[in-house]
């Protein structure tokens, strides 16, 4: 039985954090879509490239990833939220998603991602 590599969209506006997440995913046999730090670019990738799951930073400079979260929900694509903000400060679209605080614990991220992608087979 062949297992297709899971494609993970990474939305993070801090280039160093985005690179760290992408490296971690790559060494864990996930295919990275992105990373991107701009809402329009992420929405384009969701529409044209697709993904099996996503990792979303809520705060993207002067914007938030809320439109991306809605686009993912509309396509039934699960996502993990990473943020330095408290849960009560986030828009409601993020409430049901697994949430990790920054700085990101790599083990917690990989465990959450595995649960998310294993649940969606």
Q: pLDDT (tens digit, 9 = 90+) per residue, 64-96? A: 999 999 999 999 999 999 988 777 778 889 989
pLDDT of residue 111: 96
Mean pLDDT of the 102-119 span: 92
pLDDT of residue 1: 38
Beta-ladder partners of 32: 8
Contacts of 34 (CB under 8 A, 6+ apart): 9, 10, 11, 18, 22, 41, 42, 45
Mean pLDDT of the 34-38 span: 97
pLDDT tens digits for 6-35? Answer: 999 999 999 999 999 999 999 999 999 999
**Three-state SS letters, 23-34:** HHHHHCCCEEEE
pTM of the model: 0.93
């Amino acid at each position: 039985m062949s297992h297709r590599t899971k494609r993970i969209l990474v939305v993070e506006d801090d280039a160093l954090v985005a690179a760290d997440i992408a490296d971690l995913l790559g060494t864990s046999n996930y295919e990275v879509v992105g990373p991107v730090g701009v809402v329009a670019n992420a929405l384009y990738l969701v529409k044209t490239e697709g993904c099996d799951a996503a990792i979303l930073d809520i705060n993207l400079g002067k914007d938030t990833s809320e439109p991306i979260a809605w686009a993912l929900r509309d396509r039934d694509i699960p996502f993990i939220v990473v943020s330095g903000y408290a849960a009560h400060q986030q828009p409601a679209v993020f409430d049901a998603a697994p949430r990790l605080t920054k700085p990101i614990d790599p083990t917690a991220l990989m465990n959450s991602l595995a649960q998310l992608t294993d649940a969606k087979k």
